[in-house]
Amino acid sequence: MTIQEKTNSGLSTNQNNLVDKNDSTFISEWKTIFKIGGIATWFIIALIPIQMFFLIAFPPPKTVTGFFTLFQNNWFLGLTSLDLFYLLTNILMIPMYLALFFALYKTNKSLMIIAIIIGFIGISALFASNTSFEFLSLSKQYNAATSDAEKSIFLSAGQAMLSTYKGTAFDVYYVLNAITLLILSFVMLKCDTFSKTTAYIGALTGILMIIPTTAGIIGLSFGIASLIPWTIFSILIAKIFFKLSRD
């Protein structure tokens, strides 16, 4: 080996060591985010069976008057019937998405910026679509109404709220989060921190979420089916988050 080759080899080794050191430093700067993201992800996992229990044990009403009656009898069941636990899940998804962002940022900065923006817009759309607390307020006014004319006004308002609840904003949320998962899974395939199995499971979840649950029996079937890979995906990334928080 010539002197020049030895020099180049030495420079290459030093550069690789510097890159590894920079990556390690970057990860260590976000340990708190990874820890919070890991905790949030475990709470998300815990909420899945709770949501399923309430959905099966207390099926949501199909009419506005049904919701008003439910809120009058049990305001908590009224809120859960209008996705209270789903709202909590998406609040917890914010630190989860942030942890994924910093874990994968070095792998593909451009795609991760796109993914986090799309993901946060999707979560915001869900909050805009949810009318659970508006329904709670309307139900109180409906029950306090003393004439049929007043009740009719609140029934019309309730129908508008019910349409918003499963309207455009909800569909936008569903599709945008599916796209976010697909982008995250693609980047994971290029990253050594996450296994390819995790990436493929995340991609499967994203594919199953492309069709919103509002799209009839097909959408509902895809939505229920997505819970299985989503749960496995969440468990796998939660473990990685805690590992990164300790490194």
**Residue 229 belongs to a domain:** yes
Does the pLDDT value for residue 18 go beyond 50? Answer: no
Q: What value does the mean pLDDT take over residues 122-132?
A: 94
Does the pLDDT value for residue 177 go beyond 50? Answer: yes
Provide, for the chain, the percentages of residues in helix, strand and coil under a 3-state DSSP scheme, each rounded to the nearest 5: 85, 0, 15
Q: Is 195 helix (H, G, I), strand (E, B) or coil?
A: coil
Straight-line distance from the first to the last Cα atom of the chain, in angstroms, rounded to the nearest whole number? 38
Q: pLDDT band at 199, cuts 50/70/90?
A: very high
Q: pLDDT band at 15, cuts 50/70/90?
A: very low
91 CB-near residues (< 8 Å, 6+ apart): none
Q: How many domains does the chain have?
A: 1
**Residue 19 belongs to a domain:** no
> For residue range 26-69, what is the model confidence (pLDDT) as tens digits?
667 789 999 999 999 999 999 999 999 999 999 999 899 999 99
**Residue 20 belongs to a domain:** no
Does the pLDDT value for residue 77 go beyond 80? Answer: yes
Residue type at 42 in one-letter notation:
W
**Residue 178 belongs to a domain:** yes
Q: Which domain holds residue 118?
A: 28-246
Does the pLDDT value for residue 5 go beyond 70? Answer: no
**Residue 4 belongs to a domain:** no
Q: What value does the mean pLDDT take over residues 89-101?
A: 96
> pTM, whole model, 2 decimals?
0.84
**Residue 64 belongs to a domain:** yes
**Residue 23 belongs to a domain:** no
**Residue 47 belongs to a domain:** yes
- Spatial CA neighbour of 112 closest among 134, 97, 95: 97
